A = this chain, B = another copy of it.
Amino acid sequence: MLKNFLLIALCGAVMLTVGILLGHYGIDKSSSVPGWVQDVSRDLDESVVQDFLAEVDNKQIEGFLRELTRVPHMATTAGDEATVQYMLKNWQDPESGLDRAWTEQYLVYLSFPDPKKPNKVTVVAPNMTVLHTAREREKSYGPDQEDPAVVQPYAAYSPAGQPQGKLVYANQGKPSDYMRLNETLDLRGTIAITRYGGAGRAAKAINAAPYGVAGVLVYTDPLDINDGLMSDANETYPHSWYMPPSGVERGSFSTKYGDLLTPYLAAKVGTYRIPVKNITGIPTIPIQPIGFEDAYVLISQLGGEAAPADWQGGFNCTYNFGGPGFKPASEFKDSDVKLEVFNYAELRNSSNVMGIIRGSVEPDRYVIYGNHRDSWVHGAIDPSSGTSVMLEVTRVLGRMLKQGRWRPRRSIIFGSWGAEEFGLIGSAEYTEQYYTKLSERTVAYINVDISVFANATLRALAMPSVQNLIFTAAKQVKAPGLDSMSVYDNWIRYSNRTSPAYGTIPRVRYLSGAGSDYAGFVHYLGITSMDIAYTYDQTKTKARIYPAYHTAYDTFDYASRYIDPGFTSHQAVARTAGNVLLRLADSLLLPLNCSDYAESLEGYLATAVELYQTALTSHSISMEPLKSAVVLFRSAATQLDQFIHGSDLANEIPLKVRRINDQLMLLDRAFLDPQAFPEKYGFRHVIWASSSAGKATFPGLADAFARASSSGLARDWATAHHQLSILSQAIEGAAHTLLDVI
């Protein structure tokens, strides 16, 4: 009986245990755990990054570049349209394409030379004999230069006109240069020859007009681009990367960005356009670029006194001011220089090509990656080095997507912008048309325009908050040609700084101008942005930029022989930028660092205090509000960082990480003030706006201070105070977005 009882008890106990185990583990309770609980907290998968890095292929990039550069593809030409179709073909590829790709057109105001009446520059004797005629086309060294689609060198947005007058040399065409010349010469009716550099393209003519100068020439001095070398017999392309004597830098001669007729409006068919006569920021007198071969002929014959030492260039002659005009002993004695500029402007349809990958968890958050597609001629480096890198990034990501190996957490938008060369037009119109949507949802913008200037080192322009993200990405990529070194370690050798927080780190430069398509994103939309490229060793060359820039020599041949043989620097940029893109798209917590922003603001503040405080105080303007705003920003950034570090974001309510991400994403938006710079079109970001003061500090304050110190007017000191208040309020407002949300 006892035995039976024990048996029953034992059996019961066993069955109870089996039952409990079965009940607890055997019956699925997961119906009560929603499926999305996993998705919502999924973080970046490092193995996806490794796959991406492994699959980026230099040979593919080379192939893309070859296709993109078959013909010249200046904005809105047949060559440009061919690249539109090529982008679409790649992005719509069923095996390596994106979720969707399409084009968006804008009707934009572009300026061209007249193929039937080429622009001319001549030396005309008093008896009207033409003593010299500048080249109308660059010299040919191969079939690329002979393509009939190569546009004649010209200054886009220069007015047409045929001024004739005595020549003067105006150095770089800065205000101070014309002021200096005007001290000894009557500039009325003269033609001024200037060299590139020191002032914007349009500025060289705009600065001249008030002195009565009738026309302007501009050329690239061999000192500024070729390290002094000049001969195409053995020194310049096709023997090296240097600019041949007939090479001419084309460009947009406008100080504004975006379509000139539709300020702040997307240039659609029915959009209001300002009258052409109301356009500002472009030359009012004709200007024409020429090669240094022709510039030498003119400058070497100039009369008058010798120009100052810092006006002298690379020619083996003294650069004189001009009599005005040529030396009495010259064959050009008493001759004029005549410009015949027949440029015309018209509305043209320009396309952006857009492509997207839809995010799986946060489709309403966008990471945007873009580059322009249009070039001046073949544009192998500018912009096709960047376009081929973008195509490689999309090919690898597209394959991972189509094979079901990956889909980003956030949405990714790719933009192949049109008409950048005429003033960042495609990207600017895009930011105008989709202002609200982009402003509300964009996490960051990555710009890779010229991806490889040269193959020495990475360089990045960026907001401070992405500094560490770029570092993280660069540490995972091998430096081209250096087996055991990362892109990061190589970079730090070429360019570094000492950070109070990190010690020695690579120097990331600020995005303070409007040099490429990031301008609309940074300055108009306040979106955290960066521009990534490989570049040269500045100890080895003084070239302003790679020498074939905007010439007919920026070809596949040039790129593959002198810029990046083997395309491994292109590959390194594709890996770095793609890695940055993946981290922005997939990380649970956005990889944006607000404390690094604080460090930059503190640096700017220290400079401002050093440069301005004494003078401001003497005008009863206190810098205390600015100082306390920066202190508040630092403390808010520290607080947010501590809050993040004290959180277990993957396991807490998913609205918490979203909230923090919103704080990080929107940080740069807080620095926008549409009233801050009434005279600077499209600049609203009070920290990174362009500045003419040339100081590493807050631009509005720097410019206002420079003006006030120079004029001494109470009105200008009031403006400096106003700028200080605008700035303090923006920084304080930004700090408030980082503090505890309520």
Instruction: Give the interface of A toward B (CB within 8 A).
Output: 4, 7-8, 11-27, 29-30, 32-34, 36-37, 39-40, 262, 264-266, 268, 270-272, 275, 356, 358-359, 361-364, 366, 411, 413, 432-437, 440-441, 622, 624-625, 651-655, 658-659, 662-663, 666, 669-670, 673-675, 718, 721-722, 724-726, 728-729, 732-734, 736-737, 741-742
For the complex of A and B, 9 pairs with smallest distance between CB atoms: A19-B19, A23-B23, A36-B653, A20-B23, A23-B24, A674-B674, A364-B741, A272-B725, A436-B670
Q: List 19 A-B contacts (CB under 8 A).
A: A11-B11, A13-B15, A19-B19, A19-B22, A22-B23, A23-B27, A24-B29, A30-B32, A36-B654, A37-B37, A270-B625, A272-B722, A359-B742, A361-B653, A362-B659, A364-B663, A433-B729, A434-B736, A437-B736
Contact B4 A15 (CB under 8 A): no
Contacts of A14 in B (CB 8 A): 12
Contact A733 B268 (CB under 8 A): no
Smallest CB–CB gap between A715 and chain B, Å?
9
Contacts of A25 in B (CB 8 A): 23
Residue of A13, A16, A21, A433 with most partner-chain B CB within 10 A? A16
A437 CA / B659 CA spacing, docked (Å):
13
A366 CA / B742 CA spacing, docked (Å):
9
Contact B653 A39 (CB under 8 A): yes
Residue of B nearest to A4 (CB): B4
Contacts of A721 in B (CB 8 A): 272
Smallest CB–CB gap between A55 and chain B, Å?
25
Smallest CB–CB gap between A581 and chain B, Å?
16
Contact A356 B434 (CB under 8 A): no
Contacts of A718 in B (CB 8 A): 272, 275
Contact B651 A264 (CB under 8 A): no
Residue of A12, A21, A359, A361 with most partner-chain B CB within 10 A? A12
Contact B19 A436 (CB under 8 A): no
A37 CA / B653 CA spacing, docked (Å):
8
Contact B22 A440 (CB under 8 A): no
Contact B29 A23 (CB under 8 A): no
Contact A734 B411 (CB under 8 A): no
Contacts of A436 in B (CB 8 A): 666, 669-670, 733-734, 736-737
Contact B40 A625 (CB under 8 A): no
Contact A435 B12 (CB under 8 A): no
Contact B358 A34 (CB under 8 A): no
Contacts of A15 in B (CB 8 A): 11-13, 15-16, 19
Contacts of A659 in B (CB 8 A): 362-364
Contact A724 B272 (CB under 8 A): yes
- Known contacts: A12-B11, A22-B23, A653-B36. The answer to whether A433 contacts B733 by CB under 8 A is yes
Smallest CB–CB gap between A179 and chain B, Å?
32
A36 CA / B102 CA spacing, docked (Å):
41
Contact A435 B658 (CB under 8 A): no
A440: which of B27, B268, B653, B666 is its contact (CB, 8 Å)? B666
Contact B653 A40 (CB under 8 A): yes
Residue of B nearest to A670 (CB): B436
Contacts of A624 in B (CB 8 A): 270
Contact A654 B364 (CB under 8 A): no
Residue of B nearest to A729 (CB): B265
Contact B16 A669 (CB under 8 A): no
Residue of A8, A361, A666, A734 with most partner-chain B CB within 10 A? A8
- Known contacts: A27-B24, A265-B725, A742-B364. The answer to whether A437 contacts B737 by CB under 8 A is yes
A324 CA / B341 CA spacing, docked (Å):
67
A22 CA / B724 CA spacing, docked (Å):
70
A367 CA / B4 CA spacing, docked (Å):
72
A654 CA / B657 CA spacing, docked (Å):
12
A16: which of B18, B268, B432, B673 is its contact (CB, 8 Å)? B18
Residue of B nearest to A732 (CB): B433
Contact A363 B733 (CB under 8 A): no
Contacts of A675 in B (CB 8 A): 264, 674
A264 CA / B723 CA spacing, docked (Å):
12
Contacts of A23 in B (CB 8 A): 19-25, 27
A742 CA / B655 CA spacing, docked (Å):
21
A7 CA / B12 CA spacing, docked (Å):
11
Contact A411 B726 (CB under 8 A): no
Contacts of A366 in B (CB 8 A): 742
Contacts of A741 in B (CB 8 A): 363-364, 411, 441
Smallest CB–CB gap between A118 and chain B, Å?
36
- Known contacts: A736-B436, A742-B411. The answer to whether A34 contacts B651 by CB under 8 A is yes
Contact B654 A655 (CB under 8 A): yes
Residue of B nearest to A674 (CB): B674
Smallest CB–CB gap between A16 and chain B, Å?
4
Contacts of A358 in B (CB 8 A): 742
Smallest CB–CB gap between A705 and chain B, Å?
14
Contacts of A674 in B (CB 8 A): 674-675
A265 CA / B674 CA spacing, docked (Å):
12
Contacts of A722 in B (CB 8 A): 272
Contacts of A658 in B (CB 8 A): 655, 658
A654 CA / B652 CA spacing, docked (Å):
13
Contact A742 B652 (CB under 8 A): no
Contacts of A729 in B (CB 8 A): 265-266, 271, 432-433
Contact B434 A361 (CB under 8 A): no
A655 CA / B36 CA spacing, docked (Å):
10
- Known contacts: A724-B272, A725-B271. The answer to whether A662 contacts B433 by CB under 8 A is no
A248 CA / B249 CA spacing, docked (Å):
74
If A16-B22, A20-B27, A23-B23 are given as contacts, then 9 extra A-B residue pairs at C-beta distance below 8 Å, sorted by A number, are A12-B15, A16-B19, A24-B29, A266-B729, A270-B728, A271-B725, A272-B721, A364-B663, A440-B737
Residue of B nearest to A21 (CB): B23
A266 CA / B264 CA spacing, docked (Å):
27
- Known contacts: A16-B19, A436-B669, A670-B436. The answer to whether A362 contacts B655 by CB under 8 A is yes
